[in-house]
A and B are shown apart, each in its own frame.
Chain A
Amino acid sequence: MANEKIRNFCIIAHIDHGKSTLADRILEKTETVAVRDMEDQLLDNMDIERERGITIKARAVRLKYTAQDGEDYIFNLIDTPGHVDFNYEVSRSLAACEGAILVVDASQGIEAQTLANTYLAIEHDLEVVPVVNKIDLPSAEPERVCAEVENVIGIPAMDAPRISAKMGTNIEAVLEKIVTDIPAPKGDTEKPLKALIFDSYYDSYKGVIIYVRVKEGTVRVGDSIRLMATGAVFTVVEAGFMDASSLVNNGMLEAGEVGYIAASIKSIGDTQVGDTVTNNDDPCDEPLPGYRKVNPMVFSGIYPADGAKYGDLREALEKLQLNDASLSFEPETSVALGFGFRCGFLGLLHMEIIQERLEREYNLDLITTAPSVIYRVTLTSGEVQYIDNPTNYPDPALIQLAEEPMVKADILSPSEFVGNIMELCQDRRGIFKDMQYLDDTRVSLHYELPLNEIVYDFFDVLKSRTKGYASFDYEMLGYSPSKLVKLDILLNGDVVDALSFIIHTDKAYGRARKIAEKLKENIPRQLFEVPIQAAIGGKIIARETVKAMRKDVLAKCYGGDITRKKKLLEKQKEGKKRMRQLGTVEVPQEAFMSVLKLDS
């Protein structure tokens, strides 16, 4: 295969700007799939992806295209996850490409995420090909959007193809741009093998399938390969590429090509995204740059609502982990919730996706605790502890320094909402960095924010305060000293461990009051009154009481119909099983959830 006929590219777009639809049209035009086999948005395989209109895991497809110059080209379309939680995966996908199609909505313009990913692409020396989509919309302003791309990103865009992926308008122009603008891959097929892993998934027949971009050399079936970061060695069983629906075993992959390798790999933990594959017998000198192990940033306890489903939950998490090495979990026990797991996620979206998949695909009813970040605590003894579970927060007397993770946040919004956004960021302990006008009507705001202020509902609130117009992106900044306290919630005098969390001192009182009120609303009146208290250390800072129920009586026990009455009592007892018995207090699942869903 001659390298100059290969084009490796990805598509960068904001949610809903039409990435998947464009991908579908490209597949269609290149006749990778017959039109009758098309299912809308073929690349997004998971239900959740389709429903949320986002791509969670990268995919890659090989396409054949006969260009206007009469030559046949091979396109490798690498689909990237769009969300900031998967930033690292995005960067590895980009590293597998020479070019990126930047899809911008003709009525919406550039969004924060698009911007972040475009800069990432430019950083990786990718040729960025802007495309203006949705020109069929009445509100489309392609000229304005092109100007915005030029102003904001600084790449020429006036000749960007104006298309409608939905209507199939002008897709050929995009394909021609790919041929003419995106460079062919370089690389020497004779050199020692050097291939980048940009994705992997678990197949129950073939083991882990790794997606690679071969940078140098050649890999053949039967070769002994080594994954350089983990050191694991395997024998290649299949090497080939993906068409739209299946793997095609080609027997080999060469420098410049994108494809897959199957090598009877049992554990996805061995195939870290960003790792370099080399030939075990003829290894390259050094791995490709940029590899890092992905660490979870957000933690939450996940418990089965029905304690008997603990085994099912473990099995489900194990299965999800087969395909998602960034998901971590370990068993944890809560007095309140029983047996469950402390799970680590890349970010909030990742957490939501996992929870949703557990509930939907594995039919589990879950109780999740408030998301927590990892705090760094230096004890007076000098020992440094990383705390991802409030239950393990040390005695304040032993703490010399407490630090919390910070992020650099980038918010894009119409300028009329600047006041609202600043108020929100202020409220979330944000430090204002700067503000830039992108054009007459749009601004980009930069803040430093504590991660724990955004893990929960920041994005939702931001959306509601900007009528849905603002977009938001963040990257990790590191740790910064903070005045932190652990807030405990007591029901009837007993600490409910699952409701404890770590919070900044200044916010503790307000939050404590709100939680106490919420619990009061959501814990039904019962036989005994229930004192609700919020405490820091031994000090009570908020208090509410659920008064005892007043009336629960069957006045008449008539005509000797005892069975009915007995059944009623049994039913009542059964109903209470769905509640969590916390010492002497019955707490319905909704009460836990209500505390987590506190509005700011």
Chain B
Amino acid sequence: MKSLGIYIHVPFCGKKCDYCDFYSVNYSKTAVQDYVDAVLRNIRHYSDTEQNVDTVYFGGGTPSLLSPWQIEMVMDELSGSFSLDEDAEITLEANPSTLNPDKLSGLRNAGINRLSIGVQSMIDSELDFLGRTHSAERAEKTILDACSAGFENISCDLMIALPEQTSYNIAYSVNRLSALPIQHISAYILKTEEGTPFDCDDIKNRLPDDDQTVALYLQTVELLEKNGFMQYEVSNFAKNGFESRHNNRYWKCEDYIGIGPSAHSCYKGKRFAVERDLSGFVSGEFQQTYVTDNAPCGFEETAMLRLRLKEGLLLSETGSHRSEIEKKLPRLERAGYINFDGERVFLTPQGFVMSNSVIEYLIF
């Protein structure tokens, strides 16, 4: 039986964050129900009981705007249409402002067993800058409530390189978060995405420069590892055994189906995607997709994704590219970008923060 991941894009937000360029529209109760119906139709459309679904990921948007029973309907539909693994990792992205103890136990009962909470920072002034509606205190309480509701796999997002962010700020957020009952942290360097309100000189001029950003990133890596969150990808850190299984699918070129506007899939030898259009998604019987790659998971792509992971690239898996790659290793190693144990090449934190250039130099 083949293993499969399901990604469900929930394109609703109570308030859109100024730095975010993921697809979402304003939340409304009726629109959400129409949307859930469309998700259910699409799950049936892709139905294949020969596929063992062992990861499900509700991403967004703000998936925690769905009610526990809406989640339950989706989960029921999934277990009817596929072979849903007993041990499946089922993640929901959540905004602290949308959670309370009742909602959390409802979500837990609906089958969610992993939460990814958009904490972003444990400093209120930074949260203000990001336009988040929660405070550090609220985030802390949400995590403790989630723990009480029975969540044993909690991830939190953290944002690096905010305006005027000092190493003290980073240390404070990292240490305060690490002390909470969580198992996973995603630490992202803020990027001003084209077309977002942050894509303007007023904001950009306030951001730390490259050297400062790198220093903050390296400090974050060091501190998180010290606190037991080991780096396993450019931006991802986990306590032992709590690496995100769903996200690992992306990095290891494994199959996943994306449902919902703007969702991407890699399934049966093709990459394809859905338009960023909620009404199209809701009105159609099935989601319309366009192919983005007819022959994915070739050498370049596999190597590129593998090198984002701490486990890196096995030279034995590089085939005819091996000698070409081997020639380039000593220089990268001298510059401190990679480690090489004779068989496995993997990036150092310094390498991760330069990963585009390092990977491009090594494999393209």
Contact = CB atoms under 8 A, between A and B. Distances in A.
Interface of A: 526-529, 548-563, 565-566, 568-570, 572-573, 584
Contact of A559 (B213, B263, B337): B263
Nearest to B211: A550
Contacts of A528: 331, 335
B264 A555 contact: no
B301 A562 contact: yes
B235 interface: yes
Given A560-B250, A563-B271, A569 B263 contact: no
B95 to A, nearest CB: 16
A137 B258 CA distance: 77
B355 to A, nearest CB: 5
Query: Sorted from nearest, which 8 A-B pairs have the closest CB atoms?
Result: A563-B292, A551-B210, A560-B264, A552-B356, A555-B189, A527-B357, A555-B188, A550-B210
Given A550-B353, A552-B353, A553-B189, 10 more contacts: A527-B337, A548-B335, A548-B354, A549-B357, A553-B352, A558-B59, A559-B59, A559-B258, A562-B266, A569-B359
Interface string B212-235: 011001000000000000000011
B-side interface mostly? mixed
A552 B264 contact: no
Nearest to B300: A566
Interface of B: 7, 9, 22, 59, 188-189, 191, 210-211, 213-214, 217, 234-235, 249-251, 256, 258, 262-266, 271, 273, 292-293, 296, 300-301, 304-305, 308, 331, 335, 337, 352-361, 364
Contacts of A565: 304
Contact of B191 (A555, A560, A569, A570): A555
Contacts of B189: 551, 553, 555
A331 B271 CA distance: 49
A113 to B, nearest CB: 50
A84 to B, nearest CB: 50
Contacts of B250: 557, 560, 562
Contact of B364 (A554, A562, A569): A569
Contacts of B249: 560
B188 A556 contact: yes
Contact of B361 (A527, A550, A554, A555): A527
A551 B300 contact: no
A235 to B, nearest CB: 63
A568 B356 contact: yes
A553 B304 contact: no
A570 B356 contact: no
Nearest to B60: A559
A569 B360 contact: yes
A557 B234 CA distance: 9
26 contacts: A527-B357, A528-B331, A529-B335, A548-B354, A550-B213, A550-B214, A550-B353, A550-B354, A551-B214, A551-B217, A551-B354, A552-B353, A552-B356, A554-B191, A554-B355, A557-B234, A557-B251, A557-B305, A557-B308, A559-B264, A560-B249, A560-B250, A561-B273, A562-B293, A566-B300, A572-B364
Nearest to A548: B335
Nearest to A567: B292
A560 B7 contact: yes
B266 A560 contact: yes
A568 B335 CA distance: 24
A541 to B, nearest CB: 27
Contact of A562 (B191, B296, B353): B296
A586 to B, nearest CB: 10
A562 B297 CA distance: 10
Given A548-B335, A550-B210, A562 B264 contact: yes
A555 B358 CA distance: 14
A527 B364 CA distance: 14
